[in-house]
Structure 1
Amino acid sequence: MTTQWRWWMLGVPTAVALENGLALTPPMGWMTWQRYRCNMDCDSDPSTCINEQLIKEMADRMAEDGWLEAGYRYVSIDDCWMTKERDAQGRQVADPKRFPSGMAALGDYIHGKGLKFATYGDIGAKTCQGFTGFQGHFEQDAQTFAEWKVDYLKVDGCFESPKDMARDYPAFGAALNQTGRPIVYSCSWPAYMPSHCEKSDHCMDSLVEHCNLWRNFDDVQDSWDSVKSIANFWRRRNASDEMVRAAGPGHWNDPDMLLVGDFGLSPSQEQTQFALWAIWAAPLFMSNNLRDIKQSSKEILLNREIIAVNQDLLGHQGFCVGGCDGDLRIWAKPLVGGETAAVLQNLQEGGDGENITLTMAMLPWKSRRIFKARDLFAQQDLGLFREELTLYVHVNSCRMVRLSDVIEMMV
């Protein structure tokens, strides 16, 4: 079944999309990979290895510490949960030492907390860390995940030829659909292609048709340089860009996990990553230690006003509208009701800061000359403005605002 969506305000052509009723706003949750990687040494590192205790503890924190109420629903186990051999019936098997209760029981625990169960596999013969892949077992593995009551599946592309991905990702997605279990389908298909689907409407249309979300670019690493490289890749400049146009309810571009609460970013850099991911309508998957996360990082991730920008029902991906080739950039995203969210970003690394000016001429969907602005990190109103807004932004930092039209009264 297909549906259509439209950048109706900007006159951008429609695209045919997967309709499975899932991921109508960008998925939000927690994922093991960036923080815990493939640590299987539970004897030496019992609190940081990939095992069912770690997953249960993170589920507990999500349910009890305000994360679920803020919208973070998925608890995702990435690579290294499984064995390197299938069982006698050819089925995927969780490592019996690290997951003694099994995946179905772990899923029940997660569901019992009001959360959703997410996990990982690979379209190829093996996962990226050398565990059992899906190749040759698409229908069987899809049925196994359905029996485990999985809600979200991230499917990587290691040990698979890129030329076969256009066949195998849709085929596995079809196998998931045939189970009757609603499972969000996250593809890594374009991340393995030399062009990442850039400048290819056909490639992006295929992703929209077959996947709920997809990774296009490099894995995020716990460093500011990594975040900057991803931001440069997603420095799209208009709504007609093939990647911007592809995003919408049920199908999203995925720039990878949030580093907020880890070790590599300063507080202002954490704010910047979160603001950009929100503007891009990106999935918001944390990969951190929720058991001892810093209060400042927690406040960033639980900022309801910024989450609301990310989860806006219009579902448009924001893009760069000013200063895109320099260090003083402006990103903007149209919202329901004619409002706008914007990020004013200072990439400079020396000095104190600069003024950055956002003008209404930068926003093709804006018509009113007078608007009010609200600072989303400070959570305070800034006042009324005519035609433009100028804010001081410190180096390696950003300001994020929400703009609302004010009707001009005749006098």
Structure 2
Amino acid sequence: MFGIRNVPLLLLLLIQLLHGGSALDNGLALKPPMGWMSWQRFRCITDCELYPDECISEKLFRRNADLIVSEGYADVGYEYVIIDDCWLEKNRDNKTNKLVPDRKRFPRGLNVLADHIHANGLKFGLYQDFGTKTCAGYPGVINHMALDAETFANWDVDYVKLDGCYANVSDMATGYPEFGRLLNSTGRPMVYSCSWPAYQSELGELPEFESLKQHCNLWRNWDDIDDSFESVMQIIDYFGKNQDSMQPHAGPGHWNDPDMLILGNYGLSYDQSKLQMAIWAVLAAPLIMSNDLAQVRPEIKGILQNRDVIAVNQDSLGIQGKRLLMKQNIEVWRRPITPKVKGEYSYAVAFVSRRTDGAPYPISFTLKELSLINDNGYVVQDLFDMNNKLGVFRAESQFKTRIIPNGVNFYKFTAL
């Protein structure tokens, strides 16, 4: 059983049926959300004596909120500062049953932190879990959903990530939509990030995309990302293999989420960092960094702040791209974007090398092979170097590129 302050499951199902015709409809996340989240880099570090600059605390989130502004991330669109797991006391308040932020690490509560984030022109995000406990063992929302939704609104939360540990997967189809409805009913606009399909996928179940679109602004589709190139490529493969079922359901207000950007940590080289950024742009993925912004090297910061790649990710059409083909171990990923000229889309095209032979690999395609058939052709520019204008190409033109092993070349084909 699960519910709102011990409401039985049958009654909760009735409530959901009564509200079944009303979508989340919060007007948020019309473009993929951009921001910063603590989990991948800082996990559940709670010892502030040993790790004063890394522990999950008010200090950590104030500092990274300040860095988003001072280091220029806010200028290119990053706006959410999101606390992930391990921010809570182990027990709810004895008298009110409300969630309690850890008293040592968040001694002034969360409103003060929210005020600081908002004063920077940013937005405040918070993690919780649909189950009896969060993944790290702190109190979950089960049996307290209405109370917790109202608490988040009172704490001036702008973004809620709801995980699914310690929960019955069979209850998620009703419980996640109900919590989204409760968030919406507070009157405070809160982006709602669901983890429901990630838990379904572990059981080999197909996500209920129509319900996800109706009730969630974004949703995790699969496994957590780790700080490694192998993990990035496994996620890319999952999205490629399942794109026909996933891609049609992404769009303004509701996005597939392949998980955090790990650029700036330990696991990716410079070129592998470009690869993750490019494919996340093609996938219309949320761009949620998880790194130590004080330690990001200038060349990685340049990738994270590349306005032309971000423009692809944030394209107003909101069409998720797909893997088009593979040729000689080079994958081609393609996304329709603006401008649309006389009914013909422009495109962002990423060439991803799965080769490991140690040398840049030259390859050639006709534009027709890439399904680029605009009669007037396309102007082509390198999205990682927009000064590199490659000229005009038409359907029968040969387009040649040379890609390093485990690297990416990323181009914009602007329709004429």
Q: TM-score, normalised by structure 1?
A: 0.91
Task: Give 2:36's aligned residue.
Answer: 30
Cα distance per residue 1:273-315 (max 9 Å; x no partner): 0000000000001111111210011000000000000000000
State the 1:349 CA deviation: 1.6
Aligned twin of 1:395: 405
- Which residue of the other structure, out of 118, 130, 138, is the alignment partner of 2:125? 118
The 5-angstrom pairing of residues 58-77 of structure 1 reads 58-77=64-83
The number of aligned residues is 386
**Counterparts in 2 of 1:199 and 1:49: CA distance versus 1, 3 Å:** closer
For structure 1, which runs of at least 5 residues remain unmatched after alignment?
1-15, 407-411
Instruction: State the 1:364 CA deviation.
Output: 5.2
CA distance in 1: counterparts of 2:242 and 2:212, whole angstroms: 21
Q: CA deviation at 1:104?
A: 1.0
Distance 2:219 2:285 in 1: 10
Distance 2:122 2:364 in 1: 42
> How far off is 1:363 after superposition?
5.1
Structure 2's unaligned 5+ residue stretches are: 1-21
SS at match of 1:20: coil
Q: Determine whether 1:311 maps to 2:314.
A: yes
Matching of residues 101-250 of structure 1 within 5 Å: 101-194=108-201, 203-236=208-241, 241-250=244-253
User: Could you give the per-residue CA deviations for residues 223-264 of structure 1, whole angstroms, max 9, x where no partner exists?
Assistant: 0110110010011587xx220000000000000000100000
Give distance in 2, aligned partners of 1:98 and 1:24: 34
CA spacing shift, 1:134–1:358, aligned 2, 3 Å: farther
Describe how 1:322-361 pairs up with structure 2 within 5 A: 322-323=325-326, 327-336=329-338, 337=340, 338-361=345-368
Q: Judge conservation of contact 1:268–1:397 (CA < 8 Å) in 2.
A: yes
Which residue matches 2:275?
Answer: 272
Runs of 4+ residues deviating >4 angstroms? 195-200, 362-366
C-alpha contact (below 8 Å) 2:24/2:184 kept by paired residues: no
In structure 1, distance between residues paired with 2:370 and 2:27: 31
CA displacement 1:50-78 (0-9 Å, x = unmatched):
00001000000011111001000000000
How many percent of aligned residue pairs carry the same amino acid?
A: 46
Aligned equivalents of 1:389, 1:319: Cα separation in 2? 20
CA pair 109-33 structure 1, distance change in 2 beyond 3 A: same
Of residues 26, 33, 46 in structure 1, which corresponds to 2:52?
Answer: 46
Offset, 1:405: 2.0
- Give the secondary-structure state (helix, strand or coil) at the position aligned to 1:323: strand
Equivalent position SS for 2:160: strand
Distance in 1, matches of 2:348 and 2:409, equals 11
Q: Aligned partners of 1:303, 1:221: CA distance in 2, in Å?
A: 23
Cα offsets for 1:328-376 (capped at 9, x unmatched): 1000000122211010111112221222334433555743352110001
Match of 1:386 in 2: 394
**Please, what is the CA RMSD of the aligned residues?**
1.7
- C-alpha separation between the residues in 2 aligned to 1:45 and 1:287? 18
Give the corresponding residue for 2:258: 255
Letter in 1 for 2:50: S
Determine the C-alpha separation between the residues in 2 that align with 1:105 and 1:397: 43
Give 1:5's aligned residue. Answer: none
Contact 1:247 1:316 in 2 (8 A): yes
